[in-house]
A and B are shown apart, each in its own frame.
Chain A
């Protein structure tokens, strides 16, 4: 499909979906709060933006995930690279990191509540934890997956250890680091919403969970749509361009 065809298909599908939703909302024998129409969600959007609530919640949630992304870049990437440099260390760390990567931040929440209390600290720790492990794990894998031949080529050119790290290991690990960042942030975004729902006093997760108590269903649906849309924007405008400028250009991933 051409870009134009794709766009047209999307518009048609979206229109059909909204029409079906409106029809169901108007005809199904359920109370209004059970399935509000799309127009109610749009109204909730206008209302929350006008009151300034939605922008604040969005900034709070985005701020938390971006902080986690920064921590992952500054701490998890270098640490993963370092651990990956030695085969023995990497082999030893692999199952440990794999284990903690699979125990999601959400599963930690009950324990973190005991340790860090019912508040911001717990949210941040849970989200950072969730982002860091996939990034760490993939950075380590990335270093291990750099073909030995590139290292040998540089050694025969007289390259120092640091030179090999800078010119071979780091760029060679980048495809995995990119994968790790994408996975980590995707997991982290979900963990963030869940943590905000359980212990938050603000943010999108808090917004949709608290709306439930007041039967503000349109607000819940709006929150869900915003959560999905923000991820699409983050992926499209931040993660993909970074990939396109590096590993896609080098032919390390196929697009």
Chain B
């Protein structure tokens, strides 16, 4: 069986616009994500995890190597790969419902069908009653709910999430993580989730992919063998398996942080 997403020998260099130095962000990344898996990609800042996601999204052109979706090479952005960005990327001039409907509009889905789908996802992400609001009237957490709903409503094959909860407060983040977990159970989407937060990576992932820094490569793939239904923060904080996995991933990431500082 071919993987849903396959990354082969991915290498990426870019020129830092300030220092004008050539930076190697990724140096030979190989990765396979099976259908329906939630893969957390975790690593210290500067390990190239956002670059990796950008390449998967087709927004960044890799220097070498290839990305395959269902065995076909990715050449640019497309609706088969939905992206939730770290920054609030919903449009300020569209209401909540029109933002969520945007992908469907682009796909040419008829208005009545669009309304039904939007209604479903508004409910799924808990935004009922806010359909007619503009983004500036919403909190950060609600804006990201809109972004998640917009991506899900367009029904992509895979969902790419780039530190989507990094810009919201700690309380909201916990709620959003639990909600995302519920959504994952309901939709069974293939998801690649980039974060620098180890707890978040372990809480959400079926596997955690730890990236190394200098060069950016896959350092380890750590499976998280805790059933999704048991994943609530209340249960997790007292769960031994969670603690053990978290410590293991944390140790791997820490090696990279201190390793990076010696350079």
- Which A positions have Cβ atoms within 8 angstroms of B? 147, 149-150, 152-160, 163, 167-168, 171-172, 174, 246-247, 249-252
Interchain nearest-CB distance for A173 vs B (Å): 11
How many residue pairs at the A-B interface have CB separations less than 8 Å? 71
Instruction: Given A155-B77, A156-B77, A157-B82, check contact A251 B135 (CB 8 Å).
Output: yes
Residue in contact with A251 in the complex, picked from B76, B79, B136, CB distance below 8 Å: B136
B48 at the interface (CB under 8 A from A): no
B145 within 8 A of A: no
Q: Is B89 an interface residue (CB 8 A)?
A: yes
- From B30-38, B102-110, B236-244, give the one contacting chain A: B102-110
How far does the Cβ of B83 sit from chain A's closest Cβ, in whole Å? 4
C-alpha spacing A252/B92, complex, angstroms: 8
Partner of B92, one of A154, A155, A158, A250: A250
- Beyond the given pairs A149-B89, A157-B79, A157-B150, 13 more chain A to chain B contacts, judged by CB atoms under 8 angstroms and listed by A's residue number, are A152-B77, A153-B83, A156-B57, A156-B77, A156-B78, A157-B154, A158-B79, A158-B154, A172-B93, A246-B93, A251-B134, A251-B136, A252-B93
A150 touches B91 (CB 8 A): yes
Q: Is the interface of A mostly helix, strand, loop or mixed?
A: helix
Q: How far is the CB of B59 from chain A (nearest CB, A)?
A: 5
Known: A158-B103, A167-B91. A251 touches B137 (CB 8 A): yes
Is the pair A158, B59 in contact by a Cβ cutoff of 8 Å?
A: no
* B residues in contact with A251, CB < 8 Å: 92, 134-137
Given known contacts A149-B87, A149-B89, A153-B85, A159 and B134 CB-to-CB distance under 8 angstroms: no
Do A163 and B91 have beta carbons less than 8 Å apart? no
A156 touches which of B83, B90, B93, B137 (Cβ 8 Å) = B83
Q: With A152-B59, A163-B106, A167-B102 in contact, is A158–B78 under 8 Å at CB? A: yes
Q: What residues of chain B have their CB less than 8 Å away from a CB belonging to chain A?
A: 57-59, 76-79, 81-83, 85, 87, 89-93, 102-103, 106-107, 134-137, 150, 154
A254 to B135, CA, bound (A): 14
**Complex formed: what's the CA distance from A154 to B135 in Å?**
16
> Smallest Cβ distance from A162 to chain B, in angstroms?
11
Given A157-B150, A249-B134, are A168 and B59 neighbors across the interface (CB < 8 Å)?
Answer: no
A155 vs B60: C-alpha distance in the bound complex, in angstroms?
A: 12
- Given A149-B85, A250-B134, A156:B92 Cβ within 8 A: no
* A156 CA to B103 CA, complexed, in Å: 9
Question: Bound state CA distance, A158 and B57, in angstroms?
Answer: 11
